[in-house]
Amino acid sequence: MKKHLVIFAVLCLTVLEVVAQLPRERSNDRQVVEELFWAPSVIILPSVTQIPKGNVNFSIQHVFGNVSSGISELFGLDASANIRFGLDYGISDQLSVGLGRSRFDKVVDAGFKWNVLQQSEAFPLYASAIGNIAFDTRENGYSTSDRQSYFVGLLLARKVSESLSIQLSPSWAHFNLARDLQVFGGGIESEKNDLFGLGMSGRYALSDQVSLMAEWIPMLGGRSDGSHDVVSVGANLETGGHVFQVFLSTSQWITPQYAMSRTRDSFSDGEVSFGFTVHRVFGIQ
C-alpha cells in the first residue's frame, strides 16, 4: 500500500509538472547592444548606428560659414552654406546603402555601411565597413575619371556604458585628381591623391533626449597643403522619430573624403563653422 502511494505521488508530481505555468524563455532576437550613437552619422563621419531593414533615413545637413567672421556676417550664417541631402536605406539590419548630394562642388555620393560584427554579451565591439564613391558634377570640363573620389573606412565602436560610446575610424580617402591651387600671395598649394586618417568619435548621453558628441580626424602621413584636421563638437537632440544635431566644425565639407582633404580651418585658432543636421527615419514596409 505504501509502495502504491509513493508511485501515485511521483506520477502526480509528473502530471503537475506538465500542467504548471510555461517556463518563461527569452527570445534571442535582441542580444545586440544598441544606440551607440543616435544617428547614422556622428558629425562628419558615419557612425555604426545602422538603418534597420526596410527603413529609410532622410537627412538634411547644413554647415554655414566661419563663426569668427563676427556679427557683421552673423557669425557665418550670412555666408554660403554647404548643404547635403541624404537618403539611406536598410537592406538588412546589418547592411545599408545611401545616396547624397552636396551643394559644394555639386558632389553626388553613393555609399554603403555594413555592420560586420555587433557588440553583444558575446563580442565587445562593433566593426563596420563603410565606403563611398563621389562625383563632382559641376560643368567644369573635368573628365569622368577626374571627377571621382573614394572613401573607405573601418568603424570600430563600443558602448562603454549607458552614457558613453566611443568609435575609432581608420580611413582612406582617394581623389583621382589632385588639384594645384594658386593662393593669395602667389604660392601654389597641392592637394593629395591619397589621405589616411584616424577618426576618433565619442558620444556622451546627458539624458534620454540630449547627448554631447565630439569628433577628431587626425591625418596620418601627408595632408593636402593648407589643410587642417577635422575637429567637431556638438549635441544631439532626440525627439522620438527625429534626431537633431547641432555642431561646430572646422569643416564646411560634409562628404568625408572632401573634409579630410579640404578642411582649411584650424580648431586651435577658433576657426569653426556652425552647422546642423536633421535625421528622420521612415518605415516603408
Partner 1 sequence: MKSILFALSCLLISVTCSAQSFLTKDGSVEFLSRVPLHSFSGESSSLNGRVSLEEGTVDFYIDLETLKTGIGKRDKDMRKVLETKEFPFAEFVGTLDPAFELQPGDSKPVRVSGVFSMHGIDRSIEVEGSLVYVEAGLELEAAWTIRLEDYDIEPPRLLIMKVDQEQKISIRATLLPE
24 counts as binding partner 1 under rule CB under 8 A: yes
Positions in 223-262 near partner 1 (CB under 8 A): 239-242
Closest CA to 224 of 269, 163, 279, 181: 181
141 counts as binding partner 1 under rule CB under 8 A: no
CA distances to 29, 57, 124, 243 from 158, rounded to whole Å, are: 20, 23, 7, 21
- Judged by CB under 8 A, how many residues of this single chain contact partner 1? 36
Chain position carrying cell 500500500: 1
Chain position carrying cell 580651418: 265
Positions in 38-57 near partner 1 (CB under 8 A): 51-55
Q: Closest separation between CB of residue 112 and partner 1, Å?
A: 18
CA distances to 99, 100, 143 from 139, rounded to whole Å, are: 20, 19, 10
7 counts as binding partner 1 under rule CB under 8 A: yes
Round to whole Å and give the CA distance between 269 and 182: 23
Q: 253 and 263 in contact (C-beta within 8 Å)? A: yes
121 counts as binding partner 1 under rule CB under 8 A: no
210 counts as binding partner 1 under rule CB under 8 A: no
Out of 2, 3, 72, 186, point to the residue binding partner 1 (CB under 8 A).
Answer: 3
Choice between 28 and 143, CB closer to partner 1: 28
Q: Where are the beta strands (DSSP E) in 49-104?
A: 55-66, 82-90, 95-102
Contact positions toward partner 1, by CB under 8 A? 3-4, 7-8, 11-12, 14-15, 18-19, 21-22, 24-27, 29-30, 34-35, 51-55, 90, 93, 208, 239-242, 281-283, 285
